[in-house]
Amino acid sequence: MYLEQNLIWAQRAIAHVQAAVPLGASNLGRDAYASEAQYQRIGACVDSVRGTGLSVDEIASLSDAANCGNCGEQSAVAFVFLRDRGVRPLDRVGRKLIDHAFVVIGRANSSALDDVSTWGPAAVICDPWALQSYGTMEMAVMPAREAPQRWKNKMGVRILEGRPTWFTVGSTGNLAWVPIGFNPVNRVN
């Protein structure tokens, strides 16, 4: 029951981000934009909302006002939207080895942030930048063909055993199934 509720909240948050940030992201690859001028305009917009030392509320507010943002800004908008509606527990996290940020809904309080398998059956990834939401147990067995195209475009996602390398890193032809970790950004219980 909690998984389904968390998935619904994730979908609502993604819809909210799409409405609040209609210009979208500047890092989808040049082919994603109608023109070079549009690409440059969105890039300048995203640069205008970036800043160090800003709170999640400040990031979300700036991104909302400017109508643009990459994954970090979009995850801030989603996090604030969910937090303000009482959705708990809630995490906004970034990847350690890959520049990407997203929201986790329903991660078990006793779980290890670096071990997705401990997050519990109700944990849901809410990734407004990739326009994706799914249970973390589903993610662990997601076939490569279902890996969001935006991940592949942005991060050069490698594939191992039919799964996106969400949990893997590789070196010169040798891929290893190892956790690569997360950086905690914001959490509310």
Q: Is 146 domain-assigned?
A: no
24 φ, ψ to 5°?
A: 80, -150
Q: Is 64 domain-assigned?
A: yes
Q: Is 152 domain-assigned?
A: no
Q: Is 55 domain-assigned?
A: yes
Beta bridge partners of 125: 104, 134
Q: Where are the alpha helices (DSSP H) in 55-179?
A: 56-66, 71-84, 136-140, 149-155
The per-residue pLDDT string of the chain (189 residues; one tens digit each, 9 = 90 and over) reads: 699 999 999 999 999 999 999 999 988 877 778 888 998 999 999 998 887 788 899 999 999 999 999 989 999 999 999 999 999 999 998 876 667 788 999 999 998 887 777 889 999 989 899 888 888 776 555 544 555 554 444 444 443 333 343 433 223 322 223 334 566 777 888
Q: Is 172 domain-assigned?
A: no
What is the tally of structural domains in the chain?
1
Domain carrying residue 78: 2-141+181-188
Closest CA to 68 of 89, 38, 90: 38
Terminal-residue alpha carbon distance, the chain: 19
Q: Is 11 domain-assigned?
A: yes
The model carries a pTM of 0.80
